Amino acid sequence: MAVEKKQEEDVKYQNNKNQSKLPTKHNINELKNVSELQRRAYMTAALKVFVVFLGFVIIALVITSTVLLTITERFNNLGSLSFNEDTGKLLIKNAGKDNALEGYLGKGIVGGKIYKRRITSQELFYEWENNANLTIEKDSKFEKCFKLKWFQGSSGLTSLQDSFSLNNVHIYGGSELYVQLWPLELASIDTQPFLPQDTILAYYSNKTVYGPALERLWMSSNGIGVIVDESVPLHVGVNGISSKSMLMLKSDLQGYGNGPLHLTYRICTGLNIKELYQYVMGSILSLPKTIPDERMIKEPIWSTWAMYGKAVNQKDVTDFANQIKKFNLSCSQIEIDDMYSTAYGDFDFNTNKFPNATKMIDSLHNSGFRVTVWMYPFANTNSKAFLEAIDYWVRGPDEKVPGLVKWWNGIGGVLDTTSPKSTQLFSNRLKAFQSKYKIDSFKFDAGSVSYLPKGFNLYNMTNNNPSCYSSNYACLASDFGSLVEVRVGFRTQHLPIFVRMLDRSSTWNRENGLKSVIPTTLTFGILGYPFVLPDMVGGNGVEISSSVNYTSKPDKELYIRWMQMNTFLPAMQFSFVPWLYDNQTVAIAKSLIDLRMTISKTLIQAAKNISIFNAPIIRPLWWISPHDETCLTIDTEFLVGEQYLVAPVLDPYSVNKGTHSVYLPAGKWKKEFGTKDIIDSTPDGKWIKFKVTLEDLPYFSVVKDV
């Protein structure tokens, strides 16, 4: 009994024990609370870990960014110039702007390991592991300039390249162009040798090249200029395929002679672009100290070219002069153009066309006309001169044999302007021709490197730069007095002679037409060639054939507007004559020529002041308002000396409907056409619309406060 009782008690105990393990409502709630607390604790712990981790990440990113920023923006300073040796970025502060000039130097070099550096208060020097080196120094000769010099060393590099941003800035200079855009950043020119070339020849070959008047000089609206040394084998790109939004300077021996590869240039600064221009022209380049013949400024030149073409003869020239006198129009000189000789290269008159050239020229002199004759540096193979001077033409690849060149009038040899013996012989022949017929002077044509034979060998290529060929040609021409004209220029700003822009097309447009004349004139002035000779009034006509073809004359309205625009420029040149049109055109021509005589005092005074004030005769509007955005970009108006603003009508009536808009910079101006109103355009300058007739030439004189 006792055992059974004991077993029963054990079963009860076990049942009670098991029953106590069953989940009650109270126990379930307790379990839930415990689970929630555990979850929250876990989440809190996880969040703390995440926050700590995120903190470490942020700190790491900040440190990394700071390090990277320190590396990429680590500039070495030299006054207002800063240079980043790791990225090649160059910055110059000027005119209140931190990034007045932004450049990117040493393409393909910078970024490599630097072997040596030297940082002083006067110089930054870097040499890379490949032995290429860069020196940036304060210019000891020109206090407002820095000098930059790249050398290839033993690196084996075939080119050196620096580029400058064209964003948020306007630039001017470079060269004459077939499509002359102002400012220059509007142009697009692929990187190529920066040499004086014939833009018209290139245009007909679907090429864009730098023109025959050029200078290794570019100036910006931020008052910063870049001037490249003439010994650099320079290639330049402006906003081209490989230089988008950039002015690219590249040193490359292609197109130049052999020599060490280097890229040397100056960066100069001024308070503004006008002050910069005056500094560069007064300190680095040399402007002319005297002026050309004053009569060439006062009175127009009359050329036979567009009017008569190659068919010109003695009767044409005589009739030409008689008509000029008949209509009582002034003339500085009559220019006998192509083709007066028997063969190109023989300096003499073709007696079939000019039976008595001596008598003709004497008669012209007696009537008050001076006579100039077209001249060129070629001798065709069918000329006597070609064989007689066989040793004096530019050599080809075989230095014993003259190289032949194809020019617009045939095939022949070309004068080696770098050879003293060659130029002396040429000058002697020319002087004999001049003396025989009492010719007053010459119009020197060609002279660009476009007309050097392939594989040419010059007698003395100064600085291994073919541009010296053009420089020497201009210097040779200047020996023939103050009446000469040339169409090339490189480092010849000091010569007091007229530089002619290339032939213009008889159109209204900017592509070598009427609207191209003002930007080309302004560009010549920027390059240091103030004595600009625009091409013929009205352009060259549609086409000139061997026979006289008056149907090629320019449109009457275009002709008149061209005359008006040209009246205030440094020289004026006619070929198509006013009497080809009607009495109204003749009357307008006479009034404009008379006006030119009146304002020539201003032109001549500005010419005499060139080297005194380092200022061109014809000036862009930014000359008086260098911070005015409109003045920095306008290409349809210009200033004449200190006195006039000229805003000629450059659109036909079909476009302007007799209304012409003129921008007047801040100041007071007297309207010199129609009513003589005084116009106050202060404080910021203003656009004004005027009603104009065909006879109106809008121009204004400066009103100075007393």
> Percent of the chain beyond pLDDT 70?
88
* Residue 568: closest CA among 600, 612, 536, 539: 600
- Cα 202 from Cα 358, distance rounded (Å): 39
- Cα 228 from Cα 585, distance rounded (Å): 47
- Is 37 a residue whose pLDDT tops 70? no
Evaluate whether 423 touches 382 at the Cβ level (below 8 Å): no
- Cα 564 from Cα 537, distance rounded (Å): 9
Q: 549 in a domain, yes or no?
A: no
- Cα 514 from Cα 418, distance rounded (Å): 36
- Is 11 a residue whose pLDDT tops 50? no
Q: What is the pLDDT of residue 21?
A: 45
| Token pair of 521 as six digits | 């004139």
Evaluate whether 553 touches 518 at the Cβ level (below 8 Å): no
Task: Give 317-355 pLDDT, tens digit per residue.
Answer: 999 999 999 999 999 999 999 999 999 999 999 999 999
- Cα 54 from Cα 49, distance rounded (Å): 9
Sign, Cα dihedral of 228, 234, 240, 245: negative
- Is 52 a residue whose pLDDT tops 90? no
- Is 71 a residue whose pLDDT tops 50? no
- Is 61 a residue whose pLDDT tops 90? no
Task: Give 590-629 pLDDT, tens digit per residue.
Answer: 999 999 999 999 999 999 999 999 999 999 999 999 999 9
Task: Tell me what the mean pLDDT of segment 231-254 comes to.
Answer: 96
Q: 361 in a domain, yes or no?
A: no
Distances (CA, A) of 282 to 223, 224, 288, 580, 614: 15, 15, 11, 46, 6
Q: Give residue for tokens 């470079």.
A: 174
By CB atoms closer than 10 A (0-12, 13-18, 19+), residue 65 is exposed
Distances (CA, A) of 161 to 108, 243, 247, 440: 8, 11, 11, 48
Of 4-13, 66-75, 472-481, 560-569, which gets the smallest average pLDDT?
4-13
Q: What is the pLDDT of residue 541?
A: 87
- Is 166 a residue whose pLDDT tops 70? yes
Q: What is the pLDDT of residue 549?
A: 45
Per the structure, the complete domain to which residue 110 belongs is given by 81-284
- Is 23 a residue whose pLDDT tops 70? no
Separation of CA 361 from chain center = 40
Amino acid letter for position 95: A
Position 508 confidence tier, pLDDT thresholds 50, 70, 90:
very high
Task: Tell me what the mean pLDDT of segment 482-511 comes to.
Answer: 97
| Token pair of 189 as six digits | 């020119």
- Rounded (10°) angle between helices 583-608 and 556-566: 20
Position 76 confidence tier, pLDDT thresholds 50, 70, 90:
very high
| Token pair of 58 as six digits | 């942020």
Task: Give 169-211 pLDDT, tens digit per residue.
Answer: 999 999 999 999 999 999 999 999 999 999 999 999 999 999 9
Q: What is the pLDDT of residue 257?
A: 85
Q: What is the pLDDT of residue 65?
A: 46
Evaluate whether 360 touches 354 at the Cβ level (below 8 Å): yes
Arithmetic mean of pLDDT over the chain: 91
Position 38 confidence tier, pLDDT thresholds 50, 70, 90:
low
Q: What is the pLDDT of residue 1?
A: 44
Q: What is the pLDDT of residue 259?
A: 84
Q: What is the pLDDT of residue 293?
A: 98
Position 705 confidence tier, pLDDT thresholds 50, 70, 90:
confident
Evaluate whether 301 touches 571 at the Cβ level (below 8 Å): yes
Separation of CA 598 from chain center = 32
Sign, Cα dihedral of 187, 244, 168, 86: negative
Separation of CA 440 from chain center = 34
- Cα 405 from Cα 415, distance rounded (Å): 11
Q: 466 in a domain, yes or no?
A: no
Q: 110 in a domain, yes or no?
A: yes
Q: What is the pLDDT of residue 17?
A: 45
Q: 242 in a domain, yes or no?
A: yes
- Is 535 a residue whose pLDDT tops 60? yes
| Token pair of 603 as six digits | 């032109």
Q: 196 in a domain, yes or no?
A: yes
Q: Helix or strand or coil: residue 186?
A: helix
Buried b (16+ CB within 10 A) or exposed e, 481-499: ebbbbbbbbbbbbebbbbb
- Is 390 a residue whose pLDDT tops 70? yes
Position 45 confidence tier, pLDDT thresholds 50, 70, 90:
low
Task: Tell me what the mean pLDDT of segment 47-64 comes to.
Answer: 53
- Which CATH number belongs to the domain containing residue 91 in this structure? 2.60.40.1760
* DSSP states of 128-168: ETTS-EEEEEE-SS-TTEEEEEEE-TTS--S-EEEEEE-TT
Position 72 confidence tier, pLDDT thresholds 50, 70, 90:
very low
What is the number of structural domains in the chain?
1
Task: Tell me what the mean pLDDT of segment 573-589 comes to.
Answer: 98
Task: Tell me what the mean pLDDT of segment 491-496 comes to.
Answer: 98
| Token pair of 196 as six digits | 């004086």
In sequence order, the 6+-apart residues with CB closer than 8 A to the CB of 205 are none
- Cα 369 from Cα 636, distance rounded (Å): 34
Position 548 confidence tier, pLDDT thresholds 50, 70, 90:
very low
Q: Per 3-state DSSP, what percentage of the chain is helix, strand, and coil (rounded to 5)?
A: 35, 25, 40
Q: What is the pLDDT of residue 258?
A: 87
pTM: 0.89
Sign, Cα dihedral of 491, 619, 555, 589: negative
Q: What is the pLDDT of residue 547?
A: 46
| Token pair of 475 as six digits | 């210097």
- Rounded (10°) angle between helices 357-366 and 420-437: 70
Evaluate whether 578 touches 566 at the Cβ level (below 8 Å): no
Q: What is the pLDDT of residue 399?
A: 87
Task: Tell me what the mean pLDDT of segment 468-473 comes to.
Answer: 98
